[in-house]
Amino acid sequence: MTRLTRDLYTSNHWGTYCVDVAEGQVTGLRDFPEDPDPSPIGHGIVDVLHGPSRITAPMVRKSWLEGGAGAAGERRGQDEFVEVTWDKVNQLVADELTRVRRDHGNSAIYAGSYGWASAGRFHHAQSQLKRFLNCIGGYTSSKNTYSFAAAEVVVPHILGTFRGFLDTSTSWESIASDCELFVAFGGVPLKNGQISQGGVGAHVQKAGLQSAHEAGVTFVNISPLRSDLDGDVGGEWWPLRPSTDAALMLGLAHVLLSEGLHDRAFLDRYTTGFDRFAAYLKGQDDGVPKTADWAAKICDVPATDIRALARRMAASRTMISVAWALTRQDHGEQPFWAAITLAAMLGQIGQPGTGFAFGYSAMNNIGLNRHKVDFASVPQGRNPVPDFIPVARVTDLLENPGGSFEYDGTTYEYPDIRLVWWAGGNPFHHHQDLNRMRRAWARPETIIVNEWCWNPLALHADIVLPCTTPLERSDVAMAPKDPYVVAMDRAIEPVGQARDDHDIFRAIAARMNVEDAFTEGRSPQEWQRWLWDISRQQAAQAGMTLPDWDTFQRAGWIKLPVPDAPTIMMEAFRNDPVAHPLATPSGRIEIFSQTIHDFGYDDCPGHPTWMEPVEWLGQAEAGWSEQGPLHMISNQPRNKLHSQMDHGAVSRADRPKGVEQMTMHPDDARRRGLTEGQIVRIHNARGACLAELCLSDGIRPGVIQISTGAWLDSDGDLCRHGNPNTLTLDKGTSQLSQGPIAHSCLVNVTAWDGPDPVI
């Protein structure tokens, strides 16, 4: 290949960068010139690529190596690892897969393997893992995400599709030109807009928000955190009690109904079931009218403000945004259903700048005006194993083989898992109640993990297969939700003996006589061209031209054209609901869903409903400190993506004392005799973690905030490093969706008088 005369590029979920290399090492990343608001997150990779936490050779846990499958159990996370050759590890893995399949069948392999891995169309860890396992008879899989499982299941019943509308959010241009009032449940968190799955060329959220502000849009930030709305746009802050948004929305809806401010014509033409919902609002079913006063008591915001906001919403061109976080709480289906219903009552859905949307700035692509292109992805093949779990039910799966669970109207059974394989995700980051998960994790006979760094997942595996990072392999970042397509250059040789995930699976496939099925005779380079050629055809169908592969490689990146007109969600449906019906049973917005009603779930009735969360501040329960419980918000970190590069410089810079920082209101600190900068212990019946205390009046009293992402560092049930998932509750949102509920969590906070945490 001819030497490139251009910059080297790398791309990941947090952005595109130019790579500087000297003597075979990455010396730094430079911001992508096209990006007006680059994220610092990417720079976190530089010092850890070759750092001490890098996994440089295949490793097997001593107890597993000596005692065989089933011998590691409780010793996971404890006994040492032994370095082995690739030859040896490949044989161990092939033999173990053969044993498990022969004795227990393929359903005994759990490879739901949830997680974000890295950007890159070919080297997508999960796709490679699943493709490989499908070549040998399949695996137990997982459904939905940790991001918004409740919405993924409930919204299709209401609107026909969730993803379809997530992908067509009304763009910022339309908000700037046509919105007057932007009501943001969970705010517009710019920290999250740094990310977009599969790659980002230019970050637009800050500019989008700013332009709307300059155009005169008024923002209302309904959130326990003031910082969920950028201070530059002003706006009002409504610090409601966490996990009560559904009640607030019902209160707003009741005002609209009782004052006749709802759009009856819209409801008649575009929705079904409003009367059933209205009966509930009026209290005809349960004797409790869902008035502003009723909502005020639950949410702890003044009833006069609720009434005033409802009237303003009806009198203005209003956009309602619901943060994805609202689904990650008990009954997380309800805030989204209630928000859609509220927007339907306002009658502005499908018009410029108004209606509703799911989570502006949850990622860079929400509100970004672009064409969606169905770029090709690695074909995963067919999985003949029907068994699956809703993704967040993984501990239940391991604890309860043969047990049953409900999901979207059907009863299923948990298979008996003997082998777990994770590639490209970190359950010791993402799952709730990690102490409970750690105990369940001792049950499978074998745990295999592909990782590049010694994070807690790798430390809890039996067989660790060292993989490359994107900087050590070539690929293409083509994210269907971003107009930039970027060549991901191989900047350096693989570190140590690390191999690409594809290559790891190829070698094991060879031992199991399925190499041809796995590779189809293509090299990684040939696969990438293949993906490119199909994507080129798909783009052409969408009216866009991708250059040929060689031209693209010479250029390093391209930008696809963006639409001339702003995107307006549900415009076609609004214009003609008969010609463009929704994919629901009625073809309309289902404010009442007969389907869900008929499932008979007491925790998810047939219309938006307020149900008390299992844990929330409205609860008077024993077991909390004298000062009362605190509600813990464990939201996304601003300085990294989840747990990735937590050991890198960017993440560590925000953590001068080594432990994660936690924010508390000064009044709560005073009541507990705590002072700024002190190390505290956050605890409840499920576990504990340490944190450095930061004080701020930008948080609702009674609430604390600690970002996710700190690598678990367990001392019994205490995490010395500040991982909040030692505290969160592992329970499904409801029997309908079984989504995770990290944000519904009560804790105590007390001074830590133990030794300083050593990380």
Ligand X SMILES: Nc1nc2c(c(=O)[nH]1)N[C@H]1C(S)=C(S)[C@@H](COP(=O)(O)OP(=O)(O)OC[C@H]3O[C@@H](n4cnc5c(=O)[nH]c(N)nc54)[C@H](O)[C@@H]3O)O[C@H]1N2
Q: Which residues are catalytic?
A: 114, 116
* Minimum distance, C-beta of residue 579 to ligand X, in the bound complex (Å): 34
Closest CB to ligand X among 450 and 737?
450
SS3 category, 683 = strand
Q: Are 175 and 208 in contact (CB under 8 A)?
A: yes
Give the one residue of 743, 746, 752, 757 binding ligand X; rule: CB under 6 A.
Answer: 743
The residue type at 530: W
Q: Contact between 643 and Mo ion (CB under 5 A)?
A: no
Residues 380-419 vs ligand X: string with x where CB under 6 A?
A: ----------------------------------------
| DSSP assignment of 34-92 | T-SS--GGGGGGGGGSSSTTB--S-EEEHHHHHH-TTS-GGGTTTS-EEE--HHHHHHH
Closest CB to ligand X among 451 and 660?
451
Q: Which does 199 bind (CB under 5 to 8 A by kind): ligand X, Mo ion, none?
A: none
* Minimum distance, C-beta of residue 324 to Mo ion, in the bound complex (Å): 7
Q: Contact between 485 and ligand X (CB under 6 A)?
A: no
Residue 83's closest CA among 92, 75, 70? 92
Q: Contact between 641 and ligand X (CB under 6 A)?
A: yes
- Bridge partners of 66, per DSSP, are none
Closest CB to ligand X among 32 and 452?
452
Distance CA 215, CA 169 (A): 19
Closest CB to ligand X among 149 and 582?
149
Give the one residue of 140, 147, 446, 455 binding Mo ion; rule: CB under 5 A.
Answer: 147
| DSSP assignment of 629-673 | -EEEE----SSSSTTTTTTSHHHHHT-TTSSPEEEE-HHHHHHTT
Residues 69-108 vs ligand X: string with x where CB under 6 A?
A: ----------------------------------------
Residues 94-133 vs Mo ion: string with x where CB under 5 A?
A: ----------------------------------------
* Minimum distance, C-beta of residue 146 to Mo ion, in the bound complex (Å): 5
The residue type at 233: V
Q: Name the one range near ligand X by CB under 6 A: 159-167, 190-198, 474-482, 673-681.
A: 190-198
Q: Which does 423 bind (CB under 5 to 8 A by kind): Mo ion, ligand X, none?
A: ligand X
Q: Which does 170 bind (CB under 5 to 8 A by kind): Mo ion, ligand X, none?
A: none
Residue 321's closest CA among 289, 359, 347, 353? 359
Q: Contact between 347 and ligand X (CB under 6 A)?
A: no
| DSSP assignment of 186-245 | T---TTGGG--TT--SS--HHHHHHHHHHTT-EEEEESSBGGGS-GGG--EEE-PPTT-H
Q: Contact between 191 and ligand X (CB under 6 A)?
A: yes
Rounded to 10 degrees, what is the CA torsion of 633, 41, 142, 440? -60
What sign has the CA pseudo-torsion 467, 469, 475, 478? positive
Q: Are 651 and 40 in contact (CB under 8 A)?
A: no
Token code pair at residue 198: 């599969």
What is the β-pairing status of strands 81-83 and 109-110? unpaired
Per CB under 6 A, contacts with ligand X among 507-546 are none
Closest CB to Mo ion among 147 and 737?
147
* Tokens 């969606």 belong to residue: 372
* Minimum distance, C-beta of residue 228 to Mo ion, in the bound complex (Å): 16
Closest CB to ligand X among 117 and 135?
117
What sign has the CA pseudo-torsion 155, 156, 160, 164? positive
Give the one residue of 157, 254, 331, 429 binding ligand X; rule: CB under 6 A.
Answer: 429
Q: Name the one range near ligand X by CB under 6 A: 152-160, 217-225, 276-284, 337-345.
A: 217-225
Give the one residue of 32, 110, 116, 165 binding ligand X; rule: CB under 6 A.
Answer: 116
Q: Which residues bind Mo ion (CB under 5 A)?
A: 147
